[in-house]
Structure 1
Amino acid sequence: MTPACKILKSHKIEFSLHEYQHDVHAKSFGLEAAEKLNLAVNEVFKTLLVTDTKHYYVAVLPVNHQLSLKKMAAAVGAKKLQMAAPKDAERLTGYLLGGISPIGQKKRLKTIVDASAELLPTIYVSGGKRGLDIGVHPQDLLSVLTAQFADLLDHE
């Protein structure tokens, strides 16, 4: 039972668990999850950490898209953002890369979920370890994270 699962249970939020055998040679954790769980790539969301060097933020977006740092900066009210260093992401969340869940992180960070999630009945996010995804209603994810929706996708 990962911290993500415990938090969803304690908030009485309905969710489903989806396990798969993680391949250590997979180039993209998110695309691997979509493929192995037989899910559409627009339903599986990755969790990325970004920083303005003073604060850290969490972006949750479909695994088949790139994050627009400009759009994320606008969503959190920062001038300029960059990707967080992997070691910082692991330290702040308490999760390993490829298993970083937006839920149950060690430190609660401002979180933005891509607006495309609003249109889906269920989205799948990391359950807190490689090889485990959680299916959850997007509005429930927002409420448990005190997050908001915004367009985060880089369409270039």
Structure 2
Amino acid sequence: MPHSDAASPATRALARAKVKHTLHAYEHDPANHHYGEEGAAQLGFSPEVMFKTLVVKLEGSGVRNPLAIGVVPVSGMLDLKAIASAMGAKKATMADPADAQRATGYIVGGISPLGTKKRLPTCIDSSALSHDTMLVSGGRRGLSVELAPADLIRITGATTASIAG
């Protein structure tokens, strides 16, 4: 079980949902702004199983919530056209970091798809389905959560699509 100082809205959401997961903590270097790559290197995981959580702003075609979450491998980039299409929008742009932080309750570099302040539509890159487990942010810099892709999809209500470029 994680110790109390590892608790975050993300880890509390996993505990509430009774989802089997493993926490992986590492020492974050404040000078490093490549959070996912840093986590993969520090923890010894392949960048293909380490996923970053990105908040996008959607426009057009009756979009109900202008902000959405894309979860892609740290080894790739988020394809903005692909996520717009997957979310039924005309266009997607990266959300302003302040808007992303306000909507999720997390700071950039520690944004998790789990336990967000506002429930945002979420799309996970379909490559996640080829792994037994994947890692996403545990809700703070230097904390990752390893879990089954099916569990992440279920508790976030996510869809999957090919959204990594």
Which range, TM-score by smaller chain? over 0.9
Q: Does residue 99 of structure 1 match 2:110?
A: yes
CA separation in 2, counterparts of 1:31 and 1:52?
Answer: 26
**Secondary structure at 2:91's aligned position in 1?**
coil
Match of 2:25 among 19, 35, 47: 19
Query: What does residue 67 of structure 1 align with?
Result: 78
**SS state of the match for residue 127, structure 1?**
strand
Cα deviation, residue 52, structure 1? 2.3
Aligned pairs for 1:44-123 (under 5 A) are: 44-52=50-58, 55-123=66-134
RMSD over aligned CA atoms reads 0.9
Q: Where in structure 1 are there 5+ consecutive unaligned residues?
A: none
Number of aligned positions between the proteins: 154
Separation of aligned partners in 1, 2:126 and 2:58: 22
**1:95 CA drift (Å):** 0.3
1:153 — aligned with what? 164
**Is 2:33–2:109's contact at 8 Å kept on the other side of the alignment?**
no
Q: What is the DSSP-based 3-state SS (H/G/I as helix, E as strand, rest coil) of the residue aligned with 1:128?
A: strand
Q: What residue is the counterpart of 2:139 in the other structure?
A: 128
Q: What is the match of residue 152 of structure 2?
A: 141
Q: Give me the identity figure in percent.
A: 43
Moved more, 145-154 or 50-59: 50-59
Deviations 1:3-33 (A, max 9, x none): 1111111111000000000001113000000
TM-score (norm 1): 0.97
